[in-house]
């Protein structure tokens, strides 16, 4: 049996590794600082929580759009382009999240690329589905 969305599956697996890397520091800090919920006013923990939360806010929807495109016969090159861009964005973005500065190059690039992936996938899906309605 083969996966119905092998390209999206590849990038979902890579993203699962990224989100796992983002969540580990939270557990370690919570244990070390004895903070069960929220960030307890600790800036480093707040940043770690936001790095993970930002991933959870943006990546699942992008992957859903990619999977729908792939199920509808979307181009492999488009899907790989979206997947690679999303991986790069989600590696770079957390590196730019800081408490002392909002506009870091990594944060801007990561957010912009993630937004671009989502909008391109949405437009491609609209182009494929609107004629079928």
**pLDDT band at residue 108 under the 50/70/90 scheme:** very high
Whether 88 has a pLDDT exceeding 90, the answer reads yes
**DSSP state letters, the chain:** ---SSHHHHHHHHHHHHHHHHHHHHHHHHHHHHT--SS-TT-HHHHHHHHHHHHHHHHHHHHHHHHHHHHHTT--HHHHHHHHHHHHHHHHHHHHT--SS-S--HHHHHHHHHHHHHHHHHHHHHHHHHGGG-
Q: Is residue 22 part of a domain?
A: yes
Phi (first) and psi of residue 40, to 5 degrees: 60, 20
Distance CA 93, CA 109 (A): 7
Q: Is residue 84 part of a domain?
A: yes
The percentage of residues in the chain with a pLDDT greater than 70, rounded to a whole number, is 99
Q: Is residue 16 part of a domain?
A: yes
Give me the mean pLDDT over the 9-20 stretch. Answer: 98
Chain mean pLDDT for the chain: 96
Distance CA 49, CA 70 (A): 32
Domain count, the chain: 1
Q: Is residue 1 part of a domain?
A: no
CATH of the domain at 64: 1.20.120.550
Q: Is residue 82 part of a domain?
A: yes
Q: What pLDDT score was predicted for residue 133?
A: 82
Whether 1 has a pLDDT exceeding 80, the answer reads no
**pLDDT band at residue 21 under the 50/70/90 scheme:** very high
Query: What is the per-residue pLDDT across 71-85, written as a single tens digit (0 to 9) for each?
Result: 999 999 999 999 999
């Amino acid at each position: 049996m083969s996966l119905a969305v092998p390209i999206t599956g590849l990038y979902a697996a890579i993203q699962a590794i990224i989100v796992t890397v983002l969540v580990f520091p939270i557990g370690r800090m919570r244990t070390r600082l004895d903070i069960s919920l929220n960030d307890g006013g600790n800036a480093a923990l707040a940043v770690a929580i936001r790095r993970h939360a930002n991933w959870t806010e943006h990546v699942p929807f992008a992957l859903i759009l990619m999977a729908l495109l792939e199920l509808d016969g979307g181009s492999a090159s488009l899907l790989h382009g979206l997947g690679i861009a999303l991986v790069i964005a989600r590696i770079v973005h957390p590196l730019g999240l800081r408490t002392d500065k909002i506009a870091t190059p990594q944060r801007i690039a990561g957010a912009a690329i993630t937004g671009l992936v989502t909008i391109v996938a949405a437009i491609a899906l609209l182009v494929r589905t609107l004629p079928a309605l």
